[in-house]
Amino acid sequence: MSKQVMVPTLGESVTEATIGEWLKNPGDPVNVDEPIVSLETDKVAVEVPSPVAGVMGAHAVEVGATVEVGALLATIEDDVAAGENTDVEPREESPAQKQAAPASDGQGARADDGTLEDAAPAQAKIHDPEATQTMSPAVRRAVLEHGVDPTRIKGTGKDGRLTKEDVLAAAENKKAPSSAEAPAPAPAATAATQAPAQGDRREERVKMTRMRQTIARRLKSAQETAALLTTFNDVDMTAVIEAREKFKDTFAKKHDIKLGFMSFFAKAACLALKDLPSVNAQIDGDEIVYFDYVDISVAVSAPNGLVVPVVRDADSKSFAQIEKDIADFGRRAKDGTLTMEDMKGGTFTISNGGVFGGLMSTPIINPPQSAVLGLHRIEDRPVVRDGQIVIRPMMYIALSYDHRLVDGREAVTALKTIKEAIEDPMRMLIDL
């Protein structure tokens, strides 16, 4: 008896997804709720768990195929004990798969990233049931990129699962094998697979992921639909830096989280948005939707692109809770475990390009929102204070906004309010 695994409901208005990666191959043992396939939606990668324990049956669709909600993904043979032999209906392989399959003579097989790796280790990593580990898409990609054996890495994640940091640490510690341990040389590569000589020029074509296609479409739509404009200001970070230095140990001890800059800017933005509701509003057809709450989308870098999970009710949350939410989003973005619910909604966005060293930028709004705050790196610059030239830690901040809804006066005032709150954090405590 077999159990069918269907495409689950993926979230509001999401009707289809792309098969990103099969985490279990036909014949592999499967436990209840163990992920068997990763689906790429417009916003996140979703892992589909097995509804029963048993043995992985046939895959109904191939990697890269588009599937709709409710479509058949695979079958689980739940009447066969895990680890026993089972007859699995073979899938017809595409020409590309047949060419990439490891040959019996040990010739190198081509990995997903275009590099050559030895066929035997690849087979052990992917097809040996006892050595198979469930890995998120980000971890699996790191394994392929760095050429490490995941079965020899001790996972530090939940239930002993590997994290991207585990793979990177293993890659750092990886040493070249001694001559006694060195594998036998593979047969000479053919002209088709031979690595190009130094100085040769080459190019590679890679299909855009569904998430990257969505990012491209939404950002282009924002440019074509919204009347985008950006206003700038600079902020003296002295007061915030001093506050962090003074309270960082006490804050971390009490709340078990570090005090960062993002919570200051989130609370300062809430102060400005309450005073200027249009910056926190959205256009819906010929109507304007005003919100009496602030849900801040925080731009986070993920393996497949930029994602914007939402800190809900940021205006009523403490500094500590905002820091915890953002830290949790960052961890789950790296592991590829963010959900559609995490990304839903949002009335305003904060994007911190400063963590990558950016000095100044014109951030683009996240539709249908009407504004986005861009943060940048902090650097010592000469400024004039009380007629004297002094050195201060300064940051450029930018507010991009939809001029159809937000007037220039409102945008400049909002950015000025954020600047004043950061330079004098007491304003956030007494609502000024």
pLDDT at 259 over 60: yes
What does the DSSP assignment read for 52-93? S-EEEEEESS-TT-EEETT-EEEEEETTS-TTS----PPPPP
321 within 8 A of 270, measured Cβ to Cβ:
no
Strand partners, 59: 74
CA dist 312 → 122, 414, 417 (Å):
43, 20, 21
Determine the pLDDT at residue 136. Answer: 67
Per-residue pLDDT at 12: 61
Please state, in angstroms and as integers, the Cα–Cα distance from residue 13 to each residue in 9, 262, 287, 303, 385, following that order: 10, 31, 21, 24, 53
Q: How confident is the model at residue 423 (pLDDT cuts 50, 70, 90)?
A: very high
> Quick one: pLDDT at residue 323?
94
Q: Which pLDDT belongs to residue 98?
A: 44
* Residue 15 pLDDT grade (very low, low, confident, very high; cuts 50, 70, 90): confident
**Band of pLDDT at residue 110, cut at 50, 70 and 90:** very low
Using the predicted structure, report yes or no on whether residue 193 has a pLDDT greater than 60. no
* pLDDT tier at 150, thresholds 50, 70, 90: confident
Please confirm whether the linkage preceding 368 is cis (ω < 30° from 0): yes
pLDDT in tens, 384-422: 999 999 999 999 999 999 999 999 999 999 999 999 999
In the block, tokens 């996140």 appear at 44
Position 305 scores a pLDDT of 67
Check residue 108 and give its pLDDT.
39
3-state SS track over 153-167: CCCCCHHHCCCHHHH
Strands 45-49 and 35-40: antiparallel
At 173-185, the pLDDT tens digits run 874 444 444 454 5
How far apart CA 226 and CA 331 sit, in angstroms, is: 32
Which of 64, 420, 46 lies closest to 265, judged by CA?
420
In the predicted structure, residue 132 carries a pLDDT above the cut 70? no
* Domains in the chain with CATH codes: 1-82 (2.40.50.100), 105-174 (4.10.320.10), 228-429 (3.30.559.10)
Catalytic positions: 403, 407
Characterise 313 by phi-psi region: left (phi > 0), alpha (psi -120 to 50), beta (else).
left
Between 210 and 219, where is the model more confident? 219
Alpha helices in 101-163 (DSSP H): 119-127, 137-146
Residue 137 confidence (pLDDT): 61
Residue 237: pLDDT band with limits 50, 70, 90: very high
pTM of the prediction?
0.60
- Can you tell me the mean pLDDT for 249-269? 93
d(CA 346, CA 312): 8
The more confident residue out of 135 and 212 is: 212
